[in-house]
Amino acid sequence: MTSGLRAGPLPARRTAGGKLLAVLDAFTRERPALTLSEIARAVGVPLSTAHRLVGELCAWGGVERDEDGRYRVGLRVWELGALAPRGLGLREVALPFMEDLYEVTHENVQLAVRDGTEVVFVERIAGRSAVGVLTRVGGRFALPPTGVGLVLLAHAPAEVQERVLAEPLTAHTRHTITDPRRLRRVLAEVRRTGMAISDRQVTEDAVSVAAPVEVSGAVVAALSIVVRGSSPAAVRDFAPGVRAAARGIGRTLASPGAGWRAP
C-alpha cells in the first residue's frame, strides 16, 4: 500500500540545497505532518541524511516538530512566502475591495494568480452560510474548471494554453468541460466578454463568476464570487460587482503609490 507521499529518489548528484528544498516539498495539503521516516522515503535519502537535513531546517525555522514527533512546515517559510509580490502585496491592495464585495453579497470571494498551468489562491473571504468550496489560501488547483482559472488561462501566453489543452482535462463533476475544443471556445468567449463563469465544474452545487485584474494591459490576477446554484443565472446579478472590484484592484495596483509591480 502506498503512503501517498511524493515519491521518487533524488538524482545522485543533487546538491545539498536541493535536498533541503526536497524536504520542504515533501509536505502537502493532504500530508501536512510527517515523521522522519516518511520524509526520508519521500526525499529518497537514508534516515541519517534525513535527520541531518531536518535538523538544519529546524534550526533555521523551516520546519517544526510536534509533541508527537511529527514535523510540519515552520513559520519561517510563511514569513518568506508573505514577501512574494504576487502574494502579500497583491493581497493588501485587494483586501478592501474583497471585503466590500463580501459585505454586499455575503458569498465566497476569491483572489487568485496563475503559476504555470495551475491557479494559486492568494486570498479568500468565506461566508458562514455560503456554499462550501474546495479552495484554500495558498492552495493550488487546475486552471480550466474554476472561474478564476478560466480568466487566467484565457489571458495566458499561447504556449501555456496549448499545454493545458493538450493534456487530459479532469472531470470533477458531470458539468466539467473535458472537450478541448469546447474549452477553446469558452476561453475565446472569456476574452470577448471580460468575464468567466464556471457552472458547477468543481462541485455540483457551486457556480462562480470571475473577472481579470489588469495592470497596464496585463492580467496579473483574477477575482471571483462563488455562490450556491444550479445554472449560470445564479451569478448573473453578481457579475457587475465582481468586474468593478477587479477594475478597482487593477487601478490601485497601477497607481504610483502602490509600490507593486508585476513579476
Which pLDDT value is given to residue 259?
A: 56
Residues 50, 56: contact at Cβ < 8 Å?
A: no
Annotate 194-226 with DSSP letters as a single string: S-EEEESSSSTTEEEEEEEEEETTEEEEEEEEE
For residue 251, what pLDDT is reported?
Answer: 92
Residue 183's φ and ψ, nearest 5 degrees, are: -60, -40
CATH 3.30.450.40 fits 85-258, yes or no: yes
Backbone angles phi, psi at 194, to 5 degrees: 80, 15
- CA 41, 35, 134, 246 dihedral sign is negative
CA 201-203-209 angle, to 5 degrees, is: 55
Domains 16-80 and 85-258 share a fold: no
Residue 48 CB: number of other CB atoms within 10 A?
9
Residue 6: the pLDDT is 46
* Bridge partners for 125 per DSSP: 109
Say what the pLDDT of residue 82 is.
61
- DSSP letter, residue 168: P
Fill in the DSSP letter of residue 29. Answer: S
Pairing of strands 118-125, 108-115: antiparallel
pTM (two decimals): 0.71
What's the CATH number for 16-80?
1.10.10.10
Q: List per-residue pLDDT tens for the chain, 263 residues long.
A: 334 444 444 444 668 788 888 888 888 777 888 999 999 998 888 989 889 999 888 888 888 888 888 998 887 777 676 666 555 578 888 999 999 999 999 898 999 999 899 998 888 888 777 776 767 777 888 999 999 999 999 999 999 999 999 999 999 999 999 999 999 999 999 999 999 999 999 999 899 999 999 998 899 999 999 999 999 999 999 999 999 999 999 999 888 765 555 55
Phi, psi of 82 (to 5 degrees): -65, -20
Q: Where are the domains of the chain?
A: 16-80, 85-258
Question: Looking at residue 130, what is its pLDDT?
Answer: 72
Cα angle 186, 188, 189 (rounded to 5 degrees) comes to 65
Do residues 94 and 221 make contact, with C-beta atoms less than 8 angstroms apart?
Answer: yes
